[in-house]
Amino acid sequence: MTEQGQASADPEQIKPEQVSAELTAFVQQHWDADMALRDWRELLLQAGWAVPSWPRRWHGRELPSWADELVAGELIRLGAVGIPVGSGTWLAAPTILAHGTDELRDRLLAPILTGEQTWCQLFSEPGAGSDLAGLSTSAVLDGDSWVINGQKVWNTSAHHADMGMLLARTDASVPKHQGITYFALPMHQPGVEVRQLRQMNFHASFNEVFLTDARVPRDNVIGAVGAGWAAALTTLAYERRFSALRRPDYSPAPGRALDEARAEAEDHFATYSWYPQRAGRPDLVVEHAKAAGVTGDPVVRQAIARLITMHRASTWTAERARVARAAGARPGAEGSIGKLAASNIARESAKVHSMIAAAGALLTGPESPLHGVIAEVLMSVPGQSIAGGTDEIQKNILAEKVLGLPAEIRVDRDVPFSQLKHRG
Ligand SMILES: Cc1cc2nc3c(=O)[nH]c(=O)nc-3n(C[C@H](O)[C@H](O)[C@H](O)COP(=O)(O)OP(=O)(O)OC[C@H]3O[C@@H](n4cnc5c(N)ncnc54)[C@H](O)[C@@H]3O)c2cc1C
**DSSP for 346-375, written as a single string:** HHHHHHHHHHHHGGGGG--STTSGGGGHHH
Write the CA distances from 109 to 75, 92, 137, integer angstroms.
20, 9, 26
Rounded distance from Cα 175 to ligand 1 centre (Å) = 21
pLDDT at 170: 98
239 is an active site residue: yes
Buried b (16+ CB within 10 A) or exposed e, 202-213: ebebbbbbbbee
pLDDT for residue 404 is more than 90: yes
* CA of residue 146 to ligand 1 center, whole Å: 27
User: Which string of b and e fits 71-80 if b means at least 16 CB within 10 Å?
Assistant: bbebbbebeb
Q: What is the mean pLDDT of residues 111-115?
A: 98
> Average per-residue pLDDT in the chain?
92
The least confident of 184-193, 240-249, 374-383 is: 240-249
Q: How far is CA 157 from CA 5, 186, 296, in A?
A: 38, 14, 44
Give the pLDDT mean for 205-216.
97
What letter would DSSP give residue 331? P
DSSP letter (8 states) at residue 418: G
> In the prediction, which pLDDT does 243 show?
59
pLDDT of residue 331: 63
* Distance of alpha carbon 71 from the chain centroid: 19
Question: pLDDT at position 6, please?
Answer: 43
Of 8-17, 46-55, 147-156, 182-191, the range with the lowest mean pLDDT is: 8-17
Strands 119-122, 163-169: parallel, antiparallel or unpaired by DSSP?
A: parallel
Q: 303 exposed, middle or buried (CB, 10 Å; 0-12, 13-18, 19+)?
A: buried
What letter represents residue 271's amino acid?
T
Residue 335's pLDDT is: 78
Which of 42, 74, 125, 239 is catalytic? The answer is: 239
Angle at which helix 298-326 crosses helix 334-357, to 10 degrees, equals: 160
What atom of ligand 1 comes closest to residue 389's alpha carbon?
Answer: 21
Decide: helix, strand or coil at residue 122.
Answer: strand
By the 8 A CB rule, do 11 and 66 touch? no
Name which of 7-21, 76-90, 136-150, 334-348 the model is least confident about. Answer: 7-21
Is residue 83 pLDDT above 60, yes or no? yes
State yes or no: pLDDT of 7 exceeds 70: no
Q: Taking residues 291-295, what's their average pLDDT?
A: 95
User: At 152, is the secondary structure helix, strand, or coil?
Assistant: strand
- Mutational test site, ligand 1, from 390, 391, 394, 397, max ligand atoms within 8 Å of CB: 390
Residue type, 10: D
H-only helix segments in 16-101: 16-30, 37-47, 66-77, 87, 93-99
Among 3-7, 21-25, 191-195, 346-350, which stretch is predicted with the lowest mean pLDDT?
A: 3-7
Q: pTM for this structure? A: 0.91
* pLDDT recorded at residue 323: 81
Q: Give ligand 1 pocket residues (Cβ under 6 A).
A: 121-124, 129-130, 154-156, 206, 383, 386-387, 389-390, 392-393, 396, 408
pLDDT of residue 4: 43
The pLDDT > 90 percentage for the chain reads 78
Contact at 8 Å (CB) between 194 and 158?
Answer: yes
Determine the pLDDT at residue 12: 67
Residue 88 · residue 119 · CB < 8 Å: yes
What residue spans of 160-297 are helical by DSSP H? 228-239, 256-270, 275-278, 285-292
244 pLDDT more than 60? no
What distance in Å separates the CA atoms of residue 403 and residue 405, rounded to the nearest whole number?
6
pLDDT tens profile 309-335? 999 999 988 888 878 777 777 666 777
SS in 3 state form for 154-191?
Answer: CCCCHHHCCEEEEEEECCCCCECCCCEEEEEEECCCCC
Interval 33-37 mean pLDDT: 98
Using the predicted structure, report yes or no on whether residue 424 has a pLDDT greater than 60: no
Confidence class for position 303, pLDDT limits 50, 70, 90: very high
Confidence of residue 115 (pLDDT cuts 50, 70, 90): very high
Residue 421 has pLDDT above 50, yes or no: yes
Whose C-alpha lies nearest to ligand 1, atom 43? Answer: 392
The H or E element containing residue 149 is strand 145-153
Ligand 1 site-directed mutation target among 87, 91, 130, 411, most atoms within 8 Å of CB: 130
Is pLDDT above 80 for 259? yes
* Strand, coil or helix: 127: coil
The proportion of the chain whose per-residue pLDDT surpasses 70, expressed as a percent, equals 94
